[in-house]
């Protein structure tokens, strides 16, 4: 039997906060849920898949953008499954995919691209960009003191929107960074990546590295940001949630992250049982 909370707003807010959702995400979910409940006109014990489908079809008929439909979809599913504990799945096939999806590389294409970069430091910068989902500016402005190499993470300071956030480090990338720091005797306040003239790399330098490698690998439409898109998509394919990916990318709203649900290979969007890791 479904659990019916006395105050639905408080129940939604409490569960969102427990999951460390941002205040903006909480407000977005609350707004979507309120509109859904108002449209259905039914009590919490009476709403279900049928009412959700009718509401989303209503929004679709009003020509709501595909990305906005997906936000409503996720908010309603959150209400039904995580708040009311109703054992059901929404399968809204007509919910439109955003018209323009980002270019995403397969894992094999990422390997192919990296294999075309001969300069070891250039390769390390691009490996970091992909393995941590960093923007170009975040790579070139990264300082040694912002890394926790023994714990495989680092921090972006004053990133987009002047926000700080944590990023993950792959073991092999972390080991290469340790070697770089030792080889060049870098201090904590030094930029991690410096040119032969002891200067910080420019955005254009990294863009040229990726452009040259993609041409050699015969990969079309690849840019630096393609690696960030690929990082996010591959996380979704590996079973991580939109909330996890949103945090790692530093997105303010889950709506921005939802696009990666569409770029991921459908049959790989799954979560493994904890039994697999016993």
Residue of 73, 234, 251, 262 marked catalytic: 251
Question: Is 157 an active-site residue?
Answer: no
Q: Does the active-site annotation cover 260?
A: yes
Which strands sit side by side in the sheet containing 153-156, from one edge to the other?
147-148, 153-156, 165-168
Out of 34, 116, 165, 225, which one is annotated catalytic?
A: 225
Catalytic: 229? no
Q: Which residue shows structure tokens 């707003």?
A: 9
Residue 96 annotated in active site: no
Sign, CA torsion 118/124/125/131: positive
Give the C-alpha distances (Å, rounded to integers) separating 215 from 114, 219, 278.
12, 6, 44
Q: How many CA atoms lie within 13 A of 215 on its CB side?
A: 6
To the query of whether residue 35 is one of the catalytic residues in this protein, the response is: no
Strand partners, 200: 194
Annotated catalytic residue, options 73, 123, 135, 229: 135
**At CA 211, angle to CA 208 and CA 216, rounded to 5?**
125
d(CA 78, CA 56): 14
Catalytic residue among 160, 176, 194, 252: 160
What is the rounded distance in angstroms from the CA atom of residue 49 to the CA atom of residue 35? Answer: 16
In the set 228, 229, 234, 262, the catalytic residue is 228
User: Residues 72, 130, 201, 260: which is the catalytic one?
Assistant: 260
Residue 153 annotated as catalytic:
no
Distances (CA, A) of 125 to 122, 189, 201, 218, 228: 5, 18, 10, 21, 13
- Residues noted as catalytic: 135, 160, 225, 228, 251, 260
């Amino acid at each position: 039997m479904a659990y019916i909370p006395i105050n639905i707003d408080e129940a939604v807010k409490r569960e969102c906060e427990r999951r460390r959702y941002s205040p903006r995400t909480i407000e977005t979910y609350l707004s979507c849920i309120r509109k859904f409940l108002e449209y259905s006109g039914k009590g919490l014990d009476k709403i279900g898949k049928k009412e959700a489908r009718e509401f989303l079809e209503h929004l679709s008929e009003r020509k709501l953008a595909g990305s906005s439909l997906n936000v409503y979809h996720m908010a309603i599913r959150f209400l039904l499954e995580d708040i009311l504990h109703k054992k059901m799945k929404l399968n809204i096939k007509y919910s439109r995919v955003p018209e323009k999806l980002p270019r995403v590389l397969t894992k094999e294409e990422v390997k192919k691209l990296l294999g075309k970069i001969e300069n070891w430091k250039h390769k390390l910068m691009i490996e970091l960009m992909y393995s941590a989902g960093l923007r170009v500016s975040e790579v070139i402005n990264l300082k040694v003191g912002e890394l926790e190499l023994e714990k495989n993470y680092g921090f972006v300071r004053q990133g987009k929107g002047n926000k700080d956030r944590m990023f993950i480090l792959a073991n092999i990338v972390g080991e290469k960074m340790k070697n770089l720091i030792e080889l060049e005797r870098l201090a904590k306040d030094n930029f991690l990546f410096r040119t032969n003239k002891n200067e910080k790399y420019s955005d254009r330098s990294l863009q040229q590295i990726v452009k040259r490698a993609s041409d050699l690998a015969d990969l079309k439409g690849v840019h630096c940001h393609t690696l960030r898109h690929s990082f996010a998509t591959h996380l979704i394919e590996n079973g991580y949630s939109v909330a996890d990916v949103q945090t790692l990318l530093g997105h303010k709203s889950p709506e921005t992250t939802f696009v990666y649900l569409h770029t991921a290979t459908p049959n790989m969007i799954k979560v493994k049982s904890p039994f697999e890791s016993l």
